[in-house]
């Protein structure tokens, strides 16, 4: 199992906290923080804390619009190159924004060509509609659901499923063997028109069928990564409290996967093993 990030904590804290909480590795989100894209820094932290990097999250958030340039194809390729340099086998990416018309047209071909060239799995993550003036707007092309894309690998995020008003179990069943990567968290809804915000609750504390999905994956002999992406901002500077939340997440994941899948955490804006904010 792995973790992602720990804002306001930095990359080094993410590795330390992931090790303290008993994770197997980390996922790093590439951000404006130079350390998140420096293979020398990352490799040194891996050696120091015994935390391998299992996946890289490409800089596809609005806040990282200028990281690795503006071309989505280049951003993805540079993320894949970083993954190769630090030994990660998977890169997570979002579907293109609808206003990125050219990128949207070439996205599927881009993912396939880069996978073939570099031998790294590119797992496209489910997103959610955006509400503008009380109405849902599709911000992603062709939709927030990457199952609509002709790609081989998908990432399931439970909090994003909640925001989309769908059950993550339905997505997991629809996607079948294409589900290759998991962002472990929870959300307070499984129904349309019942959204709040991107919560990233601890698994089991929301309404999403998180345990059912993990058991489904265990029955499939899932060999991908389960990355904890939980919101620990409420802990503030109290890392002891943060580690307890992370340990609870590890216990939940291992209980429902029977230790048959690799559970890691992304060092992104939430849990302590990712290196970004997003």
In the predicted structure, residue 174 carries a pLDDT above the cut 90: yes
Q: Is 114 exposed, middle or buried (0-12, 13-18, 19+ CB in 10 A)?
A: buried
Q: Which of 18-22, 94-98, 102-106, 272-276 is predicted least confidently?
A: 272-276
Contact by Cβ (8 Å): 167, 208:
yes
C-alpha dist (Å) from residue 104 to 110, 142, 205: 10, 8, 35
For 2-268, give the CATH class. Answer: alpha beta
Beta-strand pair 135-137/130-132: antiparallel
- pLDDT confidence bin for 278, thresholds 50/70/90: very low
pTM, whole model, 2 decimals? 0.91
Q: Which of 60-74, 155-169, 193-207, 263-277 is predicted least confidently?
A: 263-277
Q: Would you state the pLDDT for residue 138?
A: 87
In the predicted structure, residue 260 carries a pLDDT above the cut 90: no
φ and ψ at 263, to 5 degrees?
A: -105, 120
- pLDDT confidence bin for 175, thresholds 50/70/90: very high
């Amino acid at each position: 199992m792995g973790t992602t990030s720990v804002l306001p904590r930095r990359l080094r804290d993410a590795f330390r906290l992931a090790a303290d909480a008993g994770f197997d590795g980390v996922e790093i989100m590439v951000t404006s923080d130079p350390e998140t894209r420096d293979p020398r820094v990352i490799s040194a932290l891996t050696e120091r804390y015994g935390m391998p990097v299992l996946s890289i999250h490409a800089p596809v958030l609005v806040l990282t619009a200028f990281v690795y340039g503006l071309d989505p194809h280049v951003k993805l390729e540079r993320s894949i190159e970083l993954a190769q340099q630090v030994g990660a086998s998977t890169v997570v990416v979002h579907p293109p924004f609808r206003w990125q018309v050219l990128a949207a047209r070439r996205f599927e071909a881009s993912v396939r060509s880069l996978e073939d060239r570099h031998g790294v799995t590119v797992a496209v993550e489910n997103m959610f509609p955006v509400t503008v003036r009380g109405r849902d707007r599709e911000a992603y092309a062709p939709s927030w659901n990457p199952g609509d894309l002709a790609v081989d690998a998908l990432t399931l995020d439970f909090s994003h499923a909640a925001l989309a008003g769908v059950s993550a179990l339905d997505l997991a069943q629809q996607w079948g063997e294409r589900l290759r990567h998991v962002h472990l968290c929870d959300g307070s809804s499984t129904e349309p028109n019942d959204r709040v915000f991107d919560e990233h609750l601890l698994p089991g504390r929301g309404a999403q069928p998180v345990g059912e999905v993990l058991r489904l994956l265990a029955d499939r002999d899932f060999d991908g990564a389960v990355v904890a992406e939980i919101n620990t901002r409420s802990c503030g500077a109290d890392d002891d409290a943060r580690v307890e939340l992370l340990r609870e997440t590890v216990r939940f994941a291992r209980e429902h996967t029977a230790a048959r899948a690799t559970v890691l955490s992304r060092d992104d804006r939430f849990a302590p093993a990712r290196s970004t904010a997003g």
